[in-house]
Amino acid sequence: MIEIRDLHKSFADKKVLRGVNLIIEPGQTTTIIGGSGSGKSVLFKHVIGLMKPDSGSIFVEGEDITKMSESELYRMVDKFGMVFQSGALFDSLSVGANVAFGIKNRKDMDAAAIDLIIERSLNQVGLSDIAQLLPAELSGGMKKRVAIARVIAKEPAIIMFDEPTTGLDPIMADMINELIIKVSADPAITSIVITHDMISAYKISDKIAVLFEGEIIETGSPEEIRNTKNAVVRQFIEGKAEGPIKIR
Ligand SMILES: Nc1ncnc2c1ncn2[C@@H]1O[C@H](COP(=O)(O)OP(=O)(O)OP(=O)(O)O)[C@@H](O)[C@H]1O
Ligand SMILES: [Mg+2]
């Protein structure tokens, strides 16, 4: 579905991505874990075409998006659904208008059909009767769920989640995990999750990829990662200050 090949990116003399290689299988949930500043968000921005690499390629359904023109990229990225860390809702739009954002220009749907999708999508994330509210009136957990409802409404083939559980209490985080599992269960949907929440990574992933010093140093199933012998990966998943990873 997506193949990242030898991706390099530097800012001035700071090498952030130093040859990232990763295959994201269709229909699976792939989670990229890594410490703060390891380049997760930079990698995320490359996959959605917001950043261009210094070298390397990203193939989405066989096409290299790093070589695409603006308009080709736009068509490709339209297949993506994105749940940003903050939720990235439009503050001045109601919850309902936010949920409908990805489908509002669809010619095959009238207002009633769109209203039905808004209601159905909000119900799926356990929120009803809030379509009229503004984002400012919601808690952090509700905003994340609205952002997921927006993705559900759009029915994209590829969904990217950036730190979906960060900053939530454990129960709300688990509810978001369950939602990610639910929307990703459809074999037509490929999910990519970026996180440093290991509870979440173990629960939702088919495959976990570990980003460290600009490279994917290990990939495996949750069970394989849990049992890794790699000292760097062990330090990260166990959350220890002592170990080969130097804190800067
Ligand atoms: N536009 C930019 N210009 C210059 N440096 C950047 C830019 N974007 C990211 N960086 C640098 O790239 C490195 C990786 O940043 P990135 O945001 O990808 O980290 P991260 O893994 O997402 O961390 P966190 O878990 O804290 O969100 C950082 O050192 C950051 O300063
Ligand atoms: Mg980040």
Give the tens place of pLDDT for each residue, 228-240.
Answer: 999 999 998 988 8
Chain centroid to Cα 42, Å, comes to 12
Of the ligands numbered here, which is closest to the C-alpha atom of 36? 1
Same domain, 209 and 176: yes
Mean of the per-residue pLDDT values of the chain: 91
Q: Which two tokens stand for residue 87?
A: 């939720």
Q: Give the mean pLDDT of 133-141.
A: 91
Q: What are phi and psi of 124, to 5 degrees?
A: -65, -30
Select from 155, 184, 210 the last residue of a domain. Answer: 155
Supply the residue whose CA is at minimum distance from atom 24 of ligand 1: 36
Cβ of 16 below 6 Å from ligand 1: yes
pLDDT confidence tier of residue 107, bands split at 50, 70 and 90:
confident
Q: Which two tokens stand for residue 169?
A: 């209490």
Could you tell me the maximum CA-CA distance found in the chain, to the nearest angstrom? 58
Same domain, 172 and 106: no
pLDDT confidence tier of residue 224, bands split at 50, 70 and 90:
very high
Quick: pLDDT tens for 56-102.
Answer: 999 998 999 999 998 999 888 888 998 887 668 888 999 999 999 88
Q: Is the pLDDT of residue 185 over 80?
A: yes
Residues with CB under 5 A from ligand 2 (ion): 40-41
Same domain, 150 and 169: no
Strand partners, 60: 2, 63
Alpha carbon distance 164, 136 (integer Å) = 19
Cβ of 207 below 6 Å from ligand 1: no
Asked whether 65 and 79 are in contact (CB, 8 A), the reply is no
Same domain, 93 and 215: no
Asked whether 145 and 179 are in contact (CB, 8 A), the reply is yes
Domain containing residue 142: 88-155
Same domain, 18 and 70: yes
Q: Is the pLDDT of residue 248 over 70?
A: no
Residue whose structure tokens are 């199933």: 221
Same domain, 75 and 168: yes
Q: Is the pLDDT of residue 246 over 80?
A: no
Select from 98, 127, 155 the last residue of a domain. Answer: 155
Supply the residue whose CA is at minimum distance from atom 26 of ligand 1: 36
Cβ of 11 below 6 Å from ligand 1: yes
Q: Give the mean pLDDT of 206-224.
A: 96
Q: Give the mean pLDDT of 148-152.
A: 91
Same domain, 167 and 151: no
Same domain, 5 and 106: no
**How many structural domains comprise the chain?**
2
Residue 132 is predicted with a pLDDT of: 93
How many angstroms separate the alpha carbon of residue 87 from the centre of ligand 2? 14
